[in-house]
Amino acid sequence: MSVTLQACAPVARAAQPLPCPSEWTFELIDAYHDAIARTARSFGLDTYANQLEIITAEQMMDAYASVGMPVNYKHWSFGKQFIATERSYRRGQMGLAYEIVINSDPCISYLMDENTLPMQALVIAHAAYGHNSFFKGNYLFRMWTDASSIIDYLVYARTYIAECEEKHGIEAVEQMLDSCHALMDQGVDRYRRPQRLSLAQEKARRSEREIYLQQQVNDLWRTLPRRTDRRADAGRARFPEEPQENILYFIEKHAPLLEPWQREVVRIVRKVAQYFYPQRQTQVMNEGWATFWHYTLLNSMYDEGLLTDGFMLEFLQSHTSVVAQPAGGRLNPYALGFAMMRDIRRICESPTDEDRLWFPDIAGSDWRTTLDYAMRNFKDESFIGQFLSPELMRRFRLFALRDDQAQPDLEVSAIHDEAGYRQLRESLARQYDINHREPNIQVWSVDTRGDRSLTLRHLQQWGRPLNQDADEVLRHVARLWGFRVVLESVDGTGRELKRREASPVRD
């Protein structure tokens, strides 16, 4: 019952194929891009405008070093990254990525000038149409990132940081950035956009706080007896009223001693972290989607007779190495994502009885609509939770391994059989859940009336403690906060398991 590919798979392959020397030229890239764009349109891919940039290997390493962005502020850690990349590249330990694509409007894709023409075409299909449409469509990117302004913002950040270095010294700025970088993962809003918190609400909160503070200076209260109870009350009405997940945001707004420029630096790091947050949550989907589309687009172009056999051989060779999944290793996100996208299409086009049982909603539906829906409304965790099919688990021969430090051995907790499908799917979804992967640390309270110390609370999940870096990160928090900082690790019942403390070094 397949509809689409048959329609555009002609019996006799059409016209003249596009020329395919291995060296690319601008005219050829243009021609290939036109053909790919036409094919993408026929599949209904909605993208930002494309900007293709040809760069050298060295420029590619530059881009690597500044976390893939065309501009970024200066920091030693990017220098370290560059040196590491350069070294392993020169030693031949790693190839550079064929492309880097930036979630911006227009969407910038870097093509390396060393690539052959088929590789350039692959990159265009993969990045300029695959990733690009994902950036434009996926709800996380729509909600958290503003593609049209990111480049401008980074230019602003770069200039601002440079100005700060001039005014306050490179070292002071570097210290700020070091501390902020340490908290980058705790510098994102996971559940809501801060901007959406309206000014009115913010004001209301502040006036509530002011009223409360006013009560504290009321003499009547002070003369009341039963002092201990009052203290308990004061403890309950604590600040912040609710725990805060975004530590950097909290520091930016509330750290007592930071100067305005320092707050702005915190803000810049926080904004950049927020920009990358969706990417960290959609790796499987994003790569799967892009890989699915380069595969689908180029195959469809081949069926039309636009591509030569030689082109297809080279393309398939790179494609195969991208989606290779070695057994027993870590799951390759490209392989998993690509297989899942293909699998959804299969479920739509030729569902088995099992598929009808597991996916009654999508079995037999139009695959393009279904894939589009999946791309728009999910992130890795929910995507896997929703769409990983038993068929695929069998094909990958997935099994779950449980590592309980209290036990002497590892335990195979589920395998690809009837009893294990749901548990496997849940477990794999959890593996891609960023909230499970990273420790849950929140701003718990500030001793506003005492020594101004800040208490962070780490809610320990699955009995996993923090790593050794925690003490050093805490020192960074103390530097930003300016007063003593406490980090409590508690278990689910609120019992304190470990307590760490750090105080800022005064100079």
Q: Which residues in 434-463 contact other proteins (CB under 8 A)?
A: 438-439, 441, 458, 460, 462-463
Our finding on whether 26 is near other proteins (CB under 8 A) is: yes
| Per-residue exposure over 465-480, b if at least 16 CB sit within 10 Å of its own CB, e if not | ebeeebeebbbbbbbb
Instruction: Rule CB under 8 A: say whether 321 interacts with other proteins.
Output: no
Identify each DSSP E strand in 8-156 by its residue range: 50-55, 99-102, 107-112
Which is closer to other proteins, CB of 112 or CB of 363?
A: 112
Q: Which is nearer to other proteins, 210 or 472 (CB)?
A: 472
- DSSP at 125: I
Q: How far is the CB of 110 from other proteins (least distance, A)?
A: 8
**Which residue number, 82 or 153, has a Cβ lying nearer to other proteins?**
82
Contact 266, 258 (CB under 8 A): yes
Q: How far apart are the C-alpha atoms of 435 and 441, rounded to whole Å?
A: 10
Among 325, 352, 382, 503, binds other proteins (CB under 8 A): 325
The closest of 439, 493, 430, 437 to 466, measured between CA atoms, is 439
Q: Choose, by CB under 8 A, the member of 268, 341, 398, 478 that binds other proteins.
A: 398
Say how far apart CA 476 and CA 247 lie, in whole Å: 12
**5 vs 8: CA distance, rounded Å:** 5
Q: Does 414 bind other proteins (CB under 8 A)?
A: yes
Burial (0-12, 13-18, 19+ Cβ within 10 Å), 30: exposed
Nearer to other proteins, 306 or 414 (CB): 414
Closest listed residue to residue 112, CA positions, set 102, 124, 103, 104: 124
Rounded Cα distance between 161 and 73, Å, is: 6
Pairing of β 99-102 and β 107-112: antiparallel
Phi and psi angles of residue 315, each rounded to the nearest 5 degrees, phi first: -60, -50
Tell me the CA distances in angstroms from 176 to 169, 284, 455, one per residue in order: 11, 33, 20
Shortest Å, Cβ 76 to other proteins: 4
Structure tokens at 279: 């990417």
Q: Does residue 433 bind other proteins (CB under 8 A)?
A: no
Does residue 403 interact with other proteins by CB under 8 A? yes
Judged by CB under 8 A, which of 374, 476, 479, 481 binds other proteins?
476
Per rule CB under 8 A, is residue 191 in the interface with other proteins? Answer: no
Tell me the closest approach of the beta carbon of residue 182 to other proteins, in angstroms: 5
Q: Which is nearer to other proteins, 48 or 311 (CB)?
A: 48
Return the number of the residue (202 or 417) whose C-beta is nearest other proteins: 417
Evaluate the CA torsion angle 27, 29, 30, 32 in order and state its sign.
positive
Residue 185 interacts with other proteins (CB under 8 A)?
yes
33 near other proteins, rule: CB under 8 A: yes
- The smaller minimum CB distance to other proteins, of residues 249 and 370, is found at 249
Rounded to the nearest whole angstrom, what is the least distance from the CB of residue 226 to other proteins in the complex?
A: 41
Residues 245-284 contacting other proteins, CB under 8 A? none
Q: Would you count residue 199 as binding other proteins (CB under 8 A)?
A: no
Q: Report phi then psi at 290, rounded to 5.
A: -65, -40
Confirm if 430 and 400 have CB atoms less than 8 A apart.
no
3-state secondary structure of 61: helix
The verdict on 34 binding other proteins (CB under 8 A) reads yes
Give the nearest distance from C-beta 13 to other proteins in angstroms.
25
| 184 vs 127: CA distance, rounded Å | 27
Among 39, 104, 145, 186, binds other proteins (CB under 8 A): 186
> Taking CB under 8 A as the rule, does residue 409 contact other proteins?
yes
Q: Tell which positions 368-387 bind other proteins, by CB under 8 A.
A: none
Q: Which of 405, 450, 495, 507 binds other proteins (CB under 8 A)?
A: 405
Q: How far is the CB of 285 from other proteins (least distance, A)?
A: 17
Which part of the chain contacts other proteins (CB under 8 A), choosing from 184-192, 214-222, 259-267, 287-295? 184-192
As a whole number of angstroms, the distance between CA 293 and CA 300 comes to 10
Locate 500 and state its tokens: 């760490």
Stretch that binds other proteins, among 142-150, 189-197, 407-415, 499-507 (CB under 8 A): 407-415
Parallel, antiparallel or unpaired: strands 454-459 and 440-446: antiparallel
Q: Which of 1, 11, 12, 49 binds other proteins (CB under 8 A)?
A: 49
Question: Could you tell me which stretch among 145-153, 349-357, 447-455, 468-476 binds other proteins (CB under 8 A)?
Answer: 468-476
Residue 137 binding other proteins, by CB under 8 A:
no
User: Position of tokens 């380069």?
Assistant: 294
Closest CA to 323 of 299, 349, 288: 288
The residue among 65 and 446 lying less far from other proteins, judged by its C-beta, is 65
Query: Which residue has 């005014």 as its token pair?
Result: 167
- Binding part of the chain for other proteins, among 261-269, 300-308, 349-357, 397-405 by CB under 8 A, reads 397-405
Q: Under rule CB under 8 A, which residues in 65-94 are in contact with other proteins?
A: 65-66, 74-80, 82-84, 87-88
